[in-house]
């Protein structure tokens, strides 16, 4: 029996809710738990866990490198919708595309859960993220367009409300996973933390399959559709007009998706004791789905109606307002980072305040643009246009990844050639061996024994002074003013004073610009001074009955013979790690201010675009070929 005769392909004439909607919403909640669960912990995993997954500890990934890789993953996730839309619209239809790519999705989670069992953890990480990007990305345009396909002329008035509840289900799944998955990673490790979302993805696939006879199945258009519709005058006009909007929305995504990367790393440097609970850095992201669950009804039934009494609140105006609100949210994070750069440990409440503004912006941009894209798509291009909307997310993340790639200084120490003798050597800036600027690392079975470089003696003198200060000043790193006095008179081989920077309240750096005399190059030579302070034991609670004696990361470090501040009987300590290159050109508050000013400029320009933009609506069961939307888009 063909899919056309087995399933309904036209909406039922009803003014009520389509019968397939509950299955789509249920599927989306479970699938979002799966996706956001693994993505929530991805940045922390790459920075703190990945290098410990092998038999021998590797080099810890830098923050900028981890941010770059996490955004490249999201770039892939939101680019593959183009492929998913083509598969759905040309070959299999939305339903079958969703089911088969969901299986690929599950395999990706399995690969992530397998890291550290055998082979290279980095290889399994790449394979898992590649499979998830194909599965998660491929189904995205199909699911959102599948929601719109369930409506006809008689109940299209319910579409706005259903898209809002669709988004509500996304954030319900995200909220639960953001709370649970970091806890699993912290106490039970990567295998459980990545494995549980995989199980939820399998459940999401099953729920969707249960609704197969309730759905409206819009059949695939065939291979001729692509050239006939997408490259038609009508198709090109629709894509061209929407592309103008998507350029601005892409900048929003460049900032918004950093709540799962740079914001998490900032949270790790903050005082996370809030509401009587010590939150894990990744868990702070639950502020977004929790606020979404609260804000969607508030915006739908209170804020939007109130604003509409003052002036017509069109989609273009909603997006415009959202861009300015996003600017405020990121500026709060930038100011908070300035305090961290000064050695303070501000309350996590400041980041939660920023989340309130960012979440409001998300409602006014993401939800609005999602529905707006569906209405602006010609009848046979719904999935394709939804895919183009998602590509705006890909473009935004590609931009953020590019920025983080550009600001990374090459790591000379990490690139030392280690021949069989165990000696790693780099001839240094002059390119000649056995000269003063040679960099030599003596290794023994993968463990560093000694390191020699041109400015090592003066760097050690500076580090000794900083460490002595830390030990005699309640285990805090010195301020810039205090360090200036400590390091006075210490100069490198070129006669230049050493540079001192604060990373956070428990970490600072002192370095020389190296033999080339230029700061922020691969020849910078220095040391990072880190303070380890045992965390106070939390009050016994319900979850103490089901969690191990100590966090998985601490157990793993002890297995590898590494120091653990929270081990039994451990005391506060200070340590140093040498670096040559590997720094970041744009970091701290300067990094966040860069994106804040970018957002403000984007918002101002969009006001002009919104004023002149005129939308045009299409629905798949319209009797007429097209209908003009009333009013201007401003």
pLDDT at residue 632 tops 60: no
**Domains, the chain:** 3-408+588-620 (1.20.1250.20), 413-537+551-580 (no CATH)
Q: Which of 248, 346, 268, 283 is nearest to 67 (CA)?
A: 268
Average pLDDT over residues 425-448: 78
What pLDDT does 396 receive?
A: 97
- The answer, yes or no, to whether residue 419 has pLDDT greater than 60, is no
- Exposed e or buried b for every residue in 352-380, given b needs 16+ CB within 10 A? bbbbbbbbbbbbbbbbbbbbbbbbbbbeb
- pLDDT single digits (tens) 599-617: 999 999 999 998 887 766 6
Cβ-contact 411, 65 below 8 angstroms: no
**Alpha-carbon dihedral sign for residues 309, 312, 314, 320:** negative
User: What pLDDT does 150 receive?
Assistant: 67
Which has the closest alpha carbon to 511: 521, 522, 503, 500? 500
For residues 564 and 551, is the Cβ–Cβ distance under 8 A? no
First to last CA, the chain: 49
Residue 92 and residue 84 in contact, taking contact as beta carbons nearer than 8 Å: no
Q: What is the mean pLDDT of residues 349-374?
A: 92
pLDDT higher for 630 or 540?
540
CB 515 within 8 A of CB 437: yes
The per-residue pLDDT for 42 is 95
Out of 84-88, 199-203, 243-247, pick the least confident. 84-88
Distances from the Cα of 456 to the Cαs of 37, 59, 214, 450, 514, in angstroms? Answer: 43, 20, 71, 11, 10
| DSSP characters over 176-238 | HHHHHHHHHHHHH-HHHHHHHHHHHHHHHHHHHHHTTTTSB-PPP--HHHIIIIITSHHHHHH
Strand order in the sheet with 507-512: 499-504, 507-512, 525-532, 573-580
Amino acid 8: pLDDT? 65
Flag the least confident range among 193-197, 223-227, 446-450: 446-450
Judged by average pLDDT, the poorest of 34-43, 497-506, 613-622 is 613-622
Buried b (16+ CB within 10 A) or exposed e, 160-193: eebbbbbbbbbbbbbbbbbbbbbbbbbbbbbbeb
Q: Please state, in angstroms and rounded to a whole number, the distance separating the CA atoms of residues 288 and 178.
A: 10
At residue 624, the pLDDT reads: 41
Is pLDDT at 61 greater than 70 in this prediction? yes
**Looking at the chain, how many residues does it have?**
634
pLDDT at residue 276 is higher than 60: yes
Higher pLDDT, 89 or 8: 89
The neighbour count for residue 75, using CB atoms within 10 Å, is 24
- C-alpha distances in angstroms, 358 versus 168, 241, 365? 16, 26, 10
pLDDT at 60: 84
Measured between alpha carbons, how far is 125 from 47 in angstroms, rounded to an integer?
A: 13
Question: What's residue 627's pLDDT?
Answer: 41
CA–CA dist 416, 427 (Å, integer):
10
Q: Give me the pLDDT at residue 158, please.
A: 67
Rounded average pLDDT over 303-307: 91
Q: How far apart are CA 13 and CA 18, in angstroms?
A: 10
**Over the stretch 510-552, which tens digit does the pLDDT of each residue have?**
999 999 889 899 999 999 999 988 766 655 555 556 777 888 9
pLDDT for residue 197 is more than 60 = yes
Residue 65 has pLDDT above 60, yes or no: yes
Which 3-state string (H, E, C) describes 385-410? HHHHHHHHHHHHHHHHHHHHHHCECC
Residues of the chain by 3-state class (helix, strand, coil), percent to 5? 60, 10, 30
Query: What average pLDDT is seen over the chain?
Result: 84
Instruction: Tell me the pLDDT band of 116, cut-offs 50, 70 and 90.
Output: confident
Average of pLDDT values for 259-280? 92
The predicted pLDDT at position 15 comes to: 61
Q: Residue 625 pLDDT more than 90?
A: no
Tally of CB atoms within 10 A around 623:
7
Nearest CA-CA partner of 398 in 77, 44, 40? 77
**Of the ranges 216-220, 263-267, 489-493, the best mean pLDDT one:** 263-267
Tell me the percentage of the chain whose pLDDT exceeds 70: 85
Average pLDDT of the segment spanning 366-381? 80
Alpha helix segments (H runs only) across 45-120: 63-79, 81-86, 93-113
Give the C-alpha separation, 224 to 232, whole Å. Answer: 12
pLDDT in tens, 155-180: 666 676 777 777 677 777 778 888 89
Q: What is the pLDDT of residue 633?
A: 40
**pLDDT for 341:** 93
């Amino acid at each position: 029996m063909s899919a056309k005769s087995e399933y309904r392909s036209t909406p039922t004439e009803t003014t009520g809710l389509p019968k397939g909607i509950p299955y789509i919403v249920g599927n989306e909640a479970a699938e979002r738990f799966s996706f956001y669960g693994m993505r929530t912990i991805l940045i922390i995993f790459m920075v703190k866990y990945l290098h410990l997954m092998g038999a021998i500890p590797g080099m810890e990934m830098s923050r900028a490198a981890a941010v770059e890789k996490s955004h490249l993953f999201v770039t892939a996730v939101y680019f593959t919708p183009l492929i998913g839309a083509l598969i759905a619209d040309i070959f299999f239809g939305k339903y079958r595309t969703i089911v088969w790519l969901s299986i690929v999705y599950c395999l990706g989670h399995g690969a992530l859960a397998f890291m550290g069992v055998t082979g290279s953890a980095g290889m399994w990480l790449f394979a898992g993220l590649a499979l998830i990007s194909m599965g998660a990305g491929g189904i995205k345009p199909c699911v959102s367009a599948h929601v719109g396909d369930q409506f006809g002329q008689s109940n299209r008035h319910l579409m706005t409300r259903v898209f809002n509840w669709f988004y509500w289900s996304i954030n319900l799944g995200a909220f639960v996973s953001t709370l649970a998955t970091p806890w699993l990673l912290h106490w039970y490790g990567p295998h459980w933390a990545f494995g549980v979302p995989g199980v939820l993805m399998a459940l999401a696939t099953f729920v969707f399959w249960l609704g197969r006879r309730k759905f409206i199945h819009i059949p695939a258009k065939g291979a001729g559709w692509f050239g006939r519709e997408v490259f038609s005058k009508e198709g090109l006009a629709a894509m061209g007009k929407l592309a103008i909007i998507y350029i601005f929305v892409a900048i929003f995504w460049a900032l918004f998706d950093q709540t799962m990367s740079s914001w998490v790393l900032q949270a790790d440097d903050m005082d996370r004791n809030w509401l009587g609970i010590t939150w894990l850095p990744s868990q702070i992201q639950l502020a977004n789905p929790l606020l979404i669950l609260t804000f969607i009804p508030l915006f739908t039934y209170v804020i939007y109606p109130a604003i509409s009494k003052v002036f017509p609140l069109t989609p273009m105006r909603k997006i415009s307002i959202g861009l300015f609100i996003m600017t405020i949210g990121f500026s709060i994070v930038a100011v908070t980072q300035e305090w961290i750069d000064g050695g303070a440990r501000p309350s996590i409440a400041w980041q939660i305040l920023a989340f309130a503004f960012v979440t409001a912006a998300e409602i006014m941009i993401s939800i609005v643009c999602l529905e707006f894209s569906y209405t602006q798509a010609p009848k046979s291009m719904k999935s394709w246009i939804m895919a183009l909307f998602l590509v705006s997310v890909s473009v935004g993340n590609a931009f953020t990844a590019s920025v983080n790639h550009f600001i990374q200084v090459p790591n000379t120490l990490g690139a030392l050639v280690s021949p069989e003798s165990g000696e790693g050597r780099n001839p240094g800036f002059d390119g000649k061996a056995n000269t003063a600027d040679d960099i030599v690392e003596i290794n023994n079975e993968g463990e560093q024994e000694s390191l020699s470089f041109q400015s090592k003696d003066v760097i050690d003198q500076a580090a000794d002074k900083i460490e002595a200060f830390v030990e005699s000043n309640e285990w805090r790193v010195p301020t810039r003013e205090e360090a200036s006095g400590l390091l006075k008179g210490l100069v490198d081989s070129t006669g230049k004073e050493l540079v001192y920077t604060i990373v956070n309240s428990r970490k600072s750096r002192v370095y020389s610009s190296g033999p080339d005399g230029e700061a922020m190059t691969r020849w910078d030579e220095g040391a990072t001074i880190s303070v380890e302070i045992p965390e106070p034991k939390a009050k016994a609670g319900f979850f103490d009955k089901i969690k191990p004696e100590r966090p998985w990361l601490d157990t793993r470090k002890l297995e590898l013979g590494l120091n653990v501040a929270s081990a039994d009987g451990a005391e506060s300590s200070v340590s140093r790690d040498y670096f040559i290159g590997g720094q970041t050109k744009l970091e701290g508050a300067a990094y966040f201010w860069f994106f804040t000013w970018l957002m403000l400029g984007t918002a101002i320009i969009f006001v002009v675009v919104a004023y002149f933009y005129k939308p045009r609506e299409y629905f798949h069961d319209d009797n007429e070929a097209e209908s003009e939307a009333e009013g201007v888009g401003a």
